[in-house]
Structure 1
Amino acid sequence: MFRWIIRLLLNGAALLFISWLFQSIQVTGYGVAVLAAFILGIVNTLIRPILNFFTTPFRWLTLGLFWFVVNAITFALTAYLIEGFEVGPWPDSFITTVLAAALMSLFGWCIEQITSKSD
């Protein structure tokens, strides 16, 4: 449980860093960033498998590159659900959202590697 809380707090910090990097992505504070990280985890758990199932032909045709689009959709959906977390106007900020979502996934993977229990 403690490790999960640490991961959530670090993911919130990663989201704040991403909002600092990209001008069109706005996060109003650390509390909003932690809540967004929590909701992003729920969206990735519940909605991403459905999106992956329905976009399987596109992922095959693009040799896996459509994964970035699925990431951007889940990232934008999270921003839509949370007040104080904005990704900018669609479709103008699509490329920025794709890059930010990919960076968030990379940070999430790094956080998972750092905080995972080593046997």
Structure 2
Amino acid sequence: MLLRLLANAAALAVATWVLPGISLTDGSTLQKVLVLLGVALIFGIVNAVVKPVFQLVTLPVIILSLGVFLLVINAAMLGLASWVSGLLDLGWHVDGFWNALFGALIVSVVSFVLNAFLPDRKNRRGRA
């Protein structure tokens, strides 16, 4: 679980680095890492709790768009994580829908690549 948190933090860091509309407040490297870890935790909680509800409610649109609408949902989750991190005064912000959409795409791709190298949780449970 910690490795997945680190992978999400790395994916968020890449999106923050690539897109000018995603900003991280100035500070030391340690402060930036801690902020990204906090945002990754918020993003993980938002994806675990809110995202399934959004997917269920918008299921017809997801089916009609052949899954492309999932990018919009991911962008909304990134925007929601930005809003929550703003409430907690973490210093990480996504500016606007298009930055959230491209950020969600970057986070999805980077997370997919990084998670491909992480051990599978199902295999660990089956071992004694």
TM-score of Structure 1 vs Structure 2, range by shorter chain: 0.7 to 0.9
Q: Is the 8 A contact 2:51 2:77 kept in 1?
A: yes
Letter in 2 for 1:16: A
Tell me how far 1:74 sits from its aligned partner. Answer: 0.5
Residue in 2 that maps onto 1:42: 45
Percent identity reads: 29
1:86 matched to 2:80: no
Corresponding residue SS for 2:117? helix
Letter in 2 for 1:17: V
Matches of residues 12-91 of structure 1 in structure 2 within 5 Å?
12-28=9-25, 29-82=32-85, 83=89, 84-88=91-95
Letter in 2 for 1:31: L
- The C-alpha deviation readout for 1:21-43, integer Å capped at 9, x for no partner, is 00010123111111111111111
Q: Is the 8 A contact 2:7 2:115 kept in 1?
A: no
CA RMSD of aligned residues (A): 1.7
Q: Bigger radius of gyration, 1 or 2? A: 2
TM-score, L = length of structure 1: 0.85
Any unmatched runs of 5+ in structure 1? none
- The C-alpha deviation readout for 1:39-97, integer Å capped at 9, x for no partner, is 11111111110000000111122121110100000010000001311001xxxx32221
TM-score, L = length of structure 2: 0.79
Corresponding residue SS for 1:115? coil
Tell me how far 1:6 sits from its aligned partner. Answer: 2.7
Q: 1:31 to 1:65 in 2, by over 3 A?
A: same
Corresponding residue SS for 1:64? coil
C-alpha separation between the residues in 2 aligned to 1:42 and 1:57?
Answer: 25
How many matched pairs? 112
2:6 is aligned, of 6, 9, 18, to 9
C-alpha separation between the residues in 2 aligned to 1:66 and 1:10?
Answer: 24
Letter in 1 for 2:92: F
Tell me how far 1:117 sits from its aligned partner. Answer: 4.1
Q: Is the 8 A contact 1:13 1:30 kept in 2?
A: no
